[in-house]
């Protein structure tokens, strides 16, 4: 019996091995790049949500005292009915959301907010619409009106517009629009 010390090794194509390693390196780079992009877009959504949370905090805080006689912010004071004569004048009418919004956007820390998607102040929209790319980071502010007792839906939400009176204790909901144009609910609260 003859024994042989020679082993037969199949020939390995070194070019194919290097091509595979290069392909795998490109995959790792692509996955990392996509992860960074998704993280950046997620941060923008979180900034929009933070903007909404700031609005909730300010409106909730003001809502606790706006019906008191010594409340300082006349534009947001509760119990003040908008007069029909004031509606004929130019500018926001006291006792309406328009006057309160105007005050907020000019005199509070909320005026310095930034919509991270467009690098400009956030704006209010009626609702988030996935086909509208201009609403990313926008704020949806709804006035929640109670339905009759026993209804399947406890509230019906309508957009709070500038002419709406704010002379009563309001139930509000704030949502923000994400990158896809879908609503991200922030909170429901009293104002």
Q: Give the whole-angstrom CA distance, residue 170 versus residue 77.
A: 12
Region 65-80 average pLDDT: 88
* pLDDT for the residue numbered 6: 66
Mean pLDDT of the region 79-84: 71
Inter-residue contact 186 to 56 (CB < 8 Å): yes
180-184 contacts, C-beta under 8 A, 24 or more apart: 180/130, 181/128, 181/129, 181/130, 181/131, 181/132, 181/133, 181/135, 181/136, 182/128, 182/130, 183/127, 183/128, 183/140, 184/45, 184/48, 184/49, 184/52
Distances in Å between the Cα of 183 and the Cα atoms of 49, 59, 140, 187 are: 10, 20, 8, 12
What is the residue extent of each domain of the chain?
Answer: 43-190
pLDDT for 89 equals 59
Report, as an integer, the average pLDDT of 5-22: 73
Answer yes or no: is pLDDT of 86 > 60.
no
Return d(Cα 43, Cα 161) in angstroms, integer. 29
Kindly report, residue by residue over 107-148, the tens digit of the pLDDT: 999 999 999 999 999 999 999 999 999 999 999 999 999 888
pLDDT exceeds cutoff 60 at 85: no
Nearest partner of 159 among 90, 89, 85, 101, judged by Cα: 101
């Amino acid at each position: 019996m003859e024994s042989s010390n020679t082993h037969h090794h199949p020939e390995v194509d070194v070019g194919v091995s290097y091509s595979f390693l290069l392909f795998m390196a490109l995959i790792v780079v692509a996955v990392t790049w996509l992860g960074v992009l998704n993280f950046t877009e997620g941060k923008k959504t979180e900034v929009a949500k933070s903007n909404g949370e700031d609005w909730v905090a300010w409106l909730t805080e003001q809502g606790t005292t706006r019906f008191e006689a010594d409340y300082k912010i006349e534009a947001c004071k509760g119990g003040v009915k908008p007069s029909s004569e004031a509606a004929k004048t130019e500018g926001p009418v006291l006792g309406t959301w328009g006057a309160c919004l105007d005050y907020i956007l000019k005199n509070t820390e909320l005026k310095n907010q930034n919509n991270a998607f467009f690098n400009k102040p956030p704006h209010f929209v009626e609702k988030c619409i996935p086909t509208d790319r201009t609403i990313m980071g926008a704020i949806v502010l709804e006035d929640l009106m109670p339905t009759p007792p026993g209804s399947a839906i406890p509230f019906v939400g309508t957009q709070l517009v500038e002419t709406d009176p704010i002379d009563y204790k309001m139930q509000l909901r704030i949502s923000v629009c994400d990158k896809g144009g879908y609503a991200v609910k922030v909170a429901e609260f009293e104002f």
